[in-house]
């Protein structure tokens, strides 16, 4: 029987399938660098506090460095019988350096070890995701700059509502991504506490120095309650929530790109490198990347729901159920990072059919609100103006014309206060230019926002 670090009280070996089923090494091997870093910090502290000798410390450090090299060069053989990354590394260390390796686990448990490693690993991944979010924001800001005065229809209920600028539309996603970044930063801040020293659940009888390992591992502070530190997984749930919300934002953008690329909209074209064809229909160019990103959001949300359900009935402190946490959060972050990467690479190549957008904005009575506003400015109460323009629209639908094509006689017939000049002055350019206030769609406002975003993103402070 492959000797288990915990084998002492057992009389018969682990069931063969249980060995496989129980192992998490497939999932947690990727935390090897964090496991080594945590062990080094722990060993330094043990030595400093006189719990292990300087000689043992040196052996441990050398052994761990060797192991890091073995893993990185692909020589290291991870064993399922040794369950997880923690026991794999510890067993190898003992194999290499003997007794000193066996002393490393003094004043420590896998419970505080896994809580520490996971936090360290996810801290790094959060930073990577954050960089991807910032990059995508920068890409969208560039596009918004190029399309500050590209006019398109704005929709509510997916029905033409009012003209907007494409730059304004893109900057809406820059705002969403900024809140996403804020959620990751926020989760990172709460996550960055050091559980090491909590041991199995109650702390340890050895005279440890938790501030020392906290400093060594770049944590902000030690956790304050050992039971909480080894059993809390809300830092994972928070990351999954942040990832889910970000994925939902990308999914909404995806849905729009998919619609816009259809022959019926014809607003955009996406680069060939991000699309695929059909094996039967030769004419097809499918927006696979937006579709896939839209699909991934379901999977990422699944991870969040899985973790909430896993944790909800668990008594304190550690329970094996918690081993499932890494599957959920690693997959979610991997997928989200992929989505952000694809978008960061794909969006600069998006081609915009400005004419098609302009045509769409110029039909469907997108200027109706502005005609009502013009009547209000001439002294008509808004509700009456609304009614007059509604009748005008009905007239235009019957005649097959747009509002600005109504002649003076038609205007007078609908309402004497409806002036042919008002109608003739209607244009989509005037509509967007007039919404010239903070948060409005006017090109001047979009340009101001672009300048502010470029400055903020250059300083990585939004
Ligand atoms: N592989 C385990 C996990 O990921 C490590 C902690 C195991 N602790 C224990 N007492 N069995 O949760």
Q: What are phi and psi of 70, to 5 degrees?
A: -60, -40
Q: Reduced to 3 states, what is the DSSP secondary structure of residue 31?
A: helix
Domain assignment of residue 26, yes or no? yes
CATH number, residue 383: 1.10.40.30
- Asked whether 120 and 137 are in contact (CB, 8 A), the reply is no
From the list 358, 339, 330, the residue with the least C-alpha distance to 153 is 358
For ligand 1, the distance from its centroid to the CA atom of residue 105, given in whole angstroms, is 14
pLDDT above 80 (res 2):
no
Q: Are residues 343 and 367 in the same domain?
A: no
Question: Is the same domain home to 102 and 158?
Answer: no
Q: Whose CA is nearest to atom 4 of ligand 1?
A: 323
Do 215 and 305 share a domain, yes or no?
yes
150 C-beta closer than 6 A to ligand 1: no
Buried b (16+ CB within 10 A) or exposed e, 286-316: ebbbbbebbebbeebbebbebbeebbeeeee
Does residue 282 lie within any of the structural domains?
yes
- Cα atoms in the Cβ-side hemisphere of radius 13 Å centred on 289: 21
Please indicate, yes or no, if residue 377 is contained in any of the structural domains: yes
Q: Is 209 part of any domain? A: yes
- How many independent structural domains does the chain possess? 3
User: Quick check: helix, strand or coil at residue 165?
Assistant: strand
Average pLDDT, integer, range 367-392:
95
Same-domain status, 379 and 277: no
Q: State the chain's mean pLDDT as an integer.
A: 96
Catalytically active residues, by annotation? 157, 278
In the block, residue with structure tokens 């160019």: 285
- Of 46, 72, 106, which residue is a domain's last? 106
Contact 129, 340 (CB under 8 A): yes
Q: Is residue 305 part of a domain?
A: yes
CA–CA separation, 449 vs 228, rounded Å? Answer: 44
Q: Is residue 1 part of a domain?
A: no
Q: Model pTM? A: 0.94
Q: What is the mean pLDDT of residues 19-46?
A: 98
Average pLDDT of the residues in 242-268: 97
Q: What CATH number is attached to the domain comprising 195? A: 1.20.200.10
Is 2 a domain residue? no
**Cα-atom radius of gyration of the chain, to the nearest Å?**
31
Statement to judge: residues 198 and 296 lie in one domain: yes
Burial of 404 (0-12, 13-18, 19+ CB in 10 A): middle
Looking at the structure, tell me whether residues 78 and 126 fall in a common domain.
Answer: no
**Percentage of the chain modeled with pLDDT above 90:** 93
Chosen domain end from 353, 373, 405? 353
**CATH code, domain with 63:** 1.10.275.10
Quote the tokens at residue 207: 């005279």
pLDDT, residue 1, reads 41
Could you report the per-residue pLDDT of 279-305, keeping only the tens digit for each?
Answer: 888 888 899 999 999 999 999 999 999
Query: What's the 21 CA to ligand 1 centre distance in angstroms?
Result: 13
The whole-number pLDDT of residue 3 equals 76
pLDDT tens track for 298-340: 999 999 999 999 999 999 999 999 999 999 999 999 999 999 9
Same domain, residue pair 160 and 295:
yes
12: containing domain: 7-106
Does residue 462 lie in a domain region?
A: no
Q: How confident is the model at residue 278 (pLDDT cuts 50, 70, 90)?
A: confident
Q: Which of 106, 141, 172 is the last residue of a domain?
A: 106
Q: Does the pLDDT value for residue 459 go beyond 90? A: no
d(CA 446, CA 171) in angstroms, rounded, equals 8
Closest ligand 1 atom to Cα of 322: 12
Ligand 1 centroid distance, CA of 404 (Å):
71
């Amino acid at each position: 029987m492959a000797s288990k670090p915990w084998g002492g009280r057992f009389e018969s070996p682990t069931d063969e399938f249980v060995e496989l089923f129980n192992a998490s090494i497939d999932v947690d091997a990727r935390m090897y660098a964090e496991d080594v870093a945590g062990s080094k910090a722990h060993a330094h502290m043990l030595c400093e506090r006189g719990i292990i000798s300087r000689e043992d410390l040196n052996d441990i450090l050398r052994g761990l460095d060797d192991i890091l090299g073995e893993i990185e060069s692909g020589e290291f053989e991870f064993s399922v019988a040794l369950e997880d990354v923690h026991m794999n590394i510890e067993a190898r260390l003992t194999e290499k350096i003997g007794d000193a390796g066996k002393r490393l686990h003094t004043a420590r448990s896998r419970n505080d070890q896994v809580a520490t490693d996971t936090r360290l690993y996810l801290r790094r991944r959060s930073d990577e995701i954050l960089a991807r979010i910032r990059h995508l924001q920068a890409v969208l800001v560039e596009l918004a700059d190029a399309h500050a005065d590209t006019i398109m229809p704005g929709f509510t209920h997916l029905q033409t509502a009012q003209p907007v600028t494409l730059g304004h539309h893109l900057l809406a996603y820059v705002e969403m991504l900024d809140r996403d970044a804020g959620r990751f930063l926020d989760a990172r801040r709460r996550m960055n506490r050091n559980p090491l020293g909590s041991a199995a659940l109650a702390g340890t009888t050895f005279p440890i120095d938790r501030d020392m390992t906290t400093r060594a591992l770049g944590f902000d502070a030690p956790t304050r309650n050992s039971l909480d530190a080894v059993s809390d997984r809300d830092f994972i749930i928070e990351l999954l929530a942040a990832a889910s919300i970000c994925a939902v934002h990308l999914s909404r953008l995806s849905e729009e790109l998919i619609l816009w690329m259809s022959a019926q909209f014809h607003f955009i074209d996406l680069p060939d490198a991000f699309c695929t064809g059909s094996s039967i229909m030769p004419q097809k160019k499918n927006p696979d990347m937006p579709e896939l990103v839209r699909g991934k959001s379901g999977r990422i949300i699944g991870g969040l729901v899985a973790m909430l359900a896993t944790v909800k009935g668990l008594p304190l402190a550690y329970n094996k159920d918690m081993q499932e946490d890494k599957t959920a959060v690693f997959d979610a972050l991997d997928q989200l990072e992929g989505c952000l990467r694809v978008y960061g690479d794909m969006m600069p190549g998006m081609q915009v059919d400005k004419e098609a957008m302009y045509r769409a904005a110029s039909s469907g009575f997108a200027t109706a609100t502005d005609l009502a506003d013009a009547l209000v400015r001439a002294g008509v109460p808004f509700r009456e103006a609304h009614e007059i323009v509604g009748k005008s629209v009905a007239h235009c639908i019957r005649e097959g014309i747009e509002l600005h094509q109504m002649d003076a006689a038609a205007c007078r017939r609908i309402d004497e206060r409806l002036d042919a000049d008002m109608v003739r002055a209607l244009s989509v350019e005037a509509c967007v230019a007039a919404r010239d206030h903070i948060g409005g769609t006017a090109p001047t406002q979009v340009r101001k926002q672009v300048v502010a975003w470029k400055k903020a993103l250059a300083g990585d402070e939004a």
